[in-house]
Chain A
């Protein structure tokens, strides 16, 4: 590095700037799957040391407040587990009576969120688990409070999740009592830490009270039923006689979440698989 009194740009400087701008523009114009593949490769090779360093930093982050939060969460879970045993037995008995198969479980793996100090952090998040940990595209990303997002890209040891703040995020939702169905999407002016969600496509005849919890409806193959998404805070817009769009306060803040579960609901085997000898 030299200290030069006169540093007005020379032709060489301009050429270097132009090259860098052209390369950046080319990267912006390249299709996403190609750039994601390149990014995955770089994360797993050249930038592996810094990803490793950040993972270790997060593992070592054991502040007093975090410990207290974990303790509170563990106590809540312990209380829930006490009730669960009786409910489980009752549920199994009812399923046997109705000739319904056992409830399907859920595969999951814990992951650290590697936040970056860039303005787009919160819409997409870098997770510390990847293909080698069993993660697949479209696995769901959860925290104890509810749904955070879905895995969009998977690398060997890391993956990228689109959170609910991502403009392309959609999930079919239903009120906790199962009465009203709709589609949950990010609000029109979404930023990660102060944003709202919209509960769209609610029939005009259905009215939701402020505070109603909306959970995933389980339609489609990605999100299982019953994961809390948000709480109704009011009507965002309405088309009289047709539909209302409700504003939801998300239950999870992607800007500050540090530990998540990447999960995948177990699928029931299809009864119509070729070669299947037939049902019972």
Chain B
């Protein structure tokens, strides 16, 4: 029963992040450094599930991003799949459930996602360097701050089952 409640709570947080992504972010944030709530939700899920399920979730989120962010179709799907897989696999290596570790995961995940997306789009190397050194770190920072707030606010609900 408690497990079911915990699972529902996590799905509730995911739904909240999706709502934040599509309703609050467009109202409050403009520009390329805006936090990506959808990626926070994906990484939250990926860090708490098996790599295979994380890859599928990443692919679904990636297709959504490809449909809504019209660039080269498939680029987002590929990038999100790999990032979700790496997050799930990496979580088993960096096992500490620490706020800073989680923030690092989110920031690193977003940076890798952006670089992979640009590479799959056939972006020139000059653009890639600018994105890697300027915009992606800024967006990674804003997204990591968002992720950290979520982790702090919902720490009890997001903690691994044995730690509750």
Contact = CB atoms under 8 A, between A and B. Distances in A.
Interface stretch (B60-68, B98-106, B148-156): B60-68
A207 interface: no
B77 A9 contact: no
Interface in B44-94: 45, 48-53, 55-56, 58-59, 62-78, 81-82, 85, 88-89, 91-92
A102 interface: no
**How would you classify the secondary structure of chain B's contact residues: helix, strand, loop or mixed?**
helix
B34 to A, nearest CB: 5
Given A7-B51, A42-B67, A191 B130 contact: yes
Interface in B21-58: 22-27, 30-32, 34-36, 38, 45, 48-53, 55-56, 58
B126 interface: yes
A219 interface: no
Contacts of B130: 189, 191, 194
Contact of A35 (B62, B74, B121, B162): B74
Given A1-B7, A17-B85, A118-B117, A27 B50 contact: no
B86 to A, nearest CB: 10
Contacts of B10: 1
Most buried by A among B69, B88, B118: B69
Interface residues of A, number: 67
A153 B89 CA distance: 38
A273 interface: no
A126 B23 contact: no
Contacts of B81: 17, 20-21, 24
A259 B121 CA distance: 26
A255 B31 contact: yes
Contacts of A28: 72-75, 78, 120
A60 B25 CA distance: 12
A120 B126 contact: no
B35 A10 contact: no
Contact of B27 (A1, A13, A57): A57
A23 to B, nearest CB: 7
A50 interface: yes
A51 interface: yes
Interface of B: 7, 10, 18-19, 22-27, 30-32, 34-36, 38, 45, 48-53, 55-56, 58-59, 62-78, 81-82, 85, 88-89, 91-92, 114, 117-118, 120-121, 124, 126-127, 130-131, 135-136, 139, 160-162
Interface of A: 1-4, 6-10, 12-17, 20-21, 23-30, 32, 35-36, 38-39, 42-43, 47, 50-51, 53-54, 56-58, 60-61, 114-126, 153, 160, 188-194, 255-256, 258
25 contacts: A3-B161, A6-B92, A7-B92, A14-B52, A15-B52, A16-B53, A16-B55, A17-B55, A17-B81, A17-B85, A24-B74, A25-B78, A36-B70, A39-B73, A47-B67, A53-B23, A114-B68, A116-B69, A120-B75, A121-B32, A160-B70, A191-B135, A193-B32, A193-B135, A255-B32
List the 3 closest A-B pairs by CB distance, nearest first. A27-B74, A13-B52, A116-B69
Given A7-B92, A39-B66, A116-B65, 7 more contacts: A3-B48, A13-B50, A47-B68, A54-B26, A118-B71, A119-B114, A122-B32
